[in-house]
């Protein structure tokens, strides 16, 4: 066991922290979270952290503000307890979509939250599939941005193989670069959903760029919120002649009863499978034969181990991508 490292899991991160402690061989620290009568939070580590390198895991998903404050207070407590370093592992980064001024007088809350995390005392931050890469620049401490695409596709190919009709679909123009990189790496075709905003808060999905007829289409995005746009895209792909539509998203928020919409779309075969991860802890309780919730704790443990041992993170990704490619080669024979 590495005695100088310790990991804490807060309300939305304990399942990851337990697995990291077990797989990496570091101490799992207990933390006390309580509330005063007026709702104020008190977060306190139950074990000494003086001079230690500390990992603290928390997704700042619903309830966003409570989970964010829990993380900030925990970091402050660890700093004041003389931790040597504090790495904040944030699988889902709340407020990540407010990353620019889209209209006058709007805040850039993504930057504000980054400032809070640094001011609290984090010396490094690890994020998974942030909404936009510019978020890294909002921090003045090192930031590692991870992506779960290789894990999602790896799980799909293990279940379904990877035939010649396999193609990657970008849900909008902003996702084209990521989708193109995946399609080129796997040597499969790329298609793009033409998504427009004719007026504020209205999204119109009108066209598919690329030939999807007879293909299994993997529609890959960083998150699903209300699900309206991605379900419209799935319907359009089916109308364009796709054989199957498989939706993949790292963060399944499923706001405003979105999960019921997906149940219906899956039952009506508009969507054939839905893959999400457990960065949103509530997803672990989803029970539907066509919804696959992927546990990222092993992946995160491998990343943390690489951090501690100062080894290559790229080799971890290569392992997952190579596994996809090997399945692909086998299925094409």
Active site residues: 195
Q: Which of 95, 122, 124 is nearest to 108 (CA)?
A: 95
Residue pair 114/139 in contact (Cβ under 8 Å)? The answer is yes
Question: What is the DSSP code string of 99-157?
Answer: -S-SSTT---HHHHHHHHHHHHT-SEEEEES-S-GGGGGG-SS-EEEE--HHHHHHHHH
Q: Which of 116, 113, 118 is nearest to 130 (CA)?
A: 113
Q: Tokens 């790329």 correspond to what residue?
A: 190
CA distances from 311 to 43, 297, 329 (A): 33, 19, 29
Residue pair 300/16 in contact (Cβ under 8 Å)? The answer is yes
Is the bond leading into 63 cis (omega within 30 degrees of zero)? yes
Give the C-alpha separation, 26 to 7, whole Å: 7
Strands 5-9 and 27-29: parallel
Residue pair 220/169 in contact (Cβ under 8 Å)? The answer is yes
Question: What is the DSSP code string of 63-84?
Answer: SHHHHHHHHHHHHHHHHHTT-S
């Amino acid at each position: 066991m590495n005695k100088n490292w310790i990991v804490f899991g807060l309300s939305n991160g304990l399942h990851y922290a337990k697995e990291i402690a077990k797989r990496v061989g570091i101490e799992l620290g207990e933390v006390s979270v309580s509330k005063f009568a007026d709702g104020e939070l008190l977060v306190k580590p139950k074990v000494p952290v003086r001079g230690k390198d500390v990992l603290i895991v928390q997704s700042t998903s619903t309830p966003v503000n409570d989970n964010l404050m829990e993380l900030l207070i925990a970091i402050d407590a660890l700093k004041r307890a003389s931790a040597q370093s504090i790495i904040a592992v944030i699988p889902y980064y709340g407020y990540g979509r407010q990353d620019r001024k889209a209209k006058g007088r709007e805040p850039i809350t993504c930057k504000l939250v980054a400032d809070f995390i640094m001011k609290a005392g984090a010396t490094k931050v690890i994020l998974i599939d942030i909404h936009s890469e510019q978020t890294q620049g909002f921090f003045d401490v090192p930031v590692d941005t991870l992506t779960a695409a290789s894990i999602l596709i790896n799980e799909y190919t293990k279940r379904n193989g990877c035939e010649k009709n396999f193609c990657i679909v970008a849900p909008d123009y902003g996702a084209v670069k990521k989708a193109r990189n995946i399609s080129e790496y796997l040597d499969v075709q790329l298609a793009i959903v033409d998504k427009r905003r004719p007026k504020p808060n209205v999204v119109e999905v009108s066209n598919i760029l690329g030939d999807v007829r007879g293909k299994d289409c993997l529609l890959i995005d960083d998150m699903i919120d209300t699900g309206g746009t991605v379900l419209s895209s799935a319907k359009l792909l089916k109308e364009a002649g796709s054989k199957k539509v498989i939706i993949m998203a790292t963060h399944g928020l499923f706001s405003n009863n979105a999960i019921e919409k997906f149940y219906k779309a899956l039952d009506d075969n508009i969507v054939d499978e839905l893959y999400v991860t457990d960065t949103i802890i509530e997803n672990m309780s989803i029970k539907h034969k066509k919804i696959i919730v992927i546990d990222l704790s092993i992946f995160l443990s491998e990343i943390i181990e690489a951090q501690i041992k100062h080894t290559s993170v790229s080799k971890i990704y290569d392992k997952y991508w190579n596994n996809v490619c090997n399945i692909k080669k086998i299925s094409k024979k």
